Amino acid sequence: MLVISRNHQESLTITTPTGEQITIRILDASRDSAMLGIEAPSDFMVSREDSVARETWKSLSRHTG
């Protein structure tokens, strides 16, 4: 895992092996949270880890309930 520090309105860019770029910008930050802006090609799926876990749980509950 790469760990870096960024300040308000600074960004980082990730370039995929195919040359597509994903940019992540710090929009706002406080001591315990940060608001991120993510620019990615429309065919990229961007999701939060907690929402993925919640959807997985819902899906499993439907199949076992």
State the chain's maximal CA–CA distance in angstroms. 46
Percent of the residues in the chain that have a pLDDT greater than 90, as a whole number: 46
Q: Is the pLDDT of residue 51 over 70?
A: no
Model pLDDT for residues 22-49, shown as the tens digit of each residue: 999 999 998 889 999 999 999 998 888 8
Percent of the residues in the chain that have a pLDDT greater than 70, as a whole number: 77
DSSP 13: E
Q: How far apart are CA 57 and CA 43, in angstroms?
A: 25
Query: What's the token pair of residue 33?
Result: 């949270």
Q: Is the pLDDT of residue 64 over 80?
A: no
Domain residue limits, the chain: 11-64
* Sign of the CA dihedral running 57, 59, 63, 65: positive
Query: pTM of the predicted model, to two decimals?
Result: 0.69
22 pairs with which residues across the strands?
14
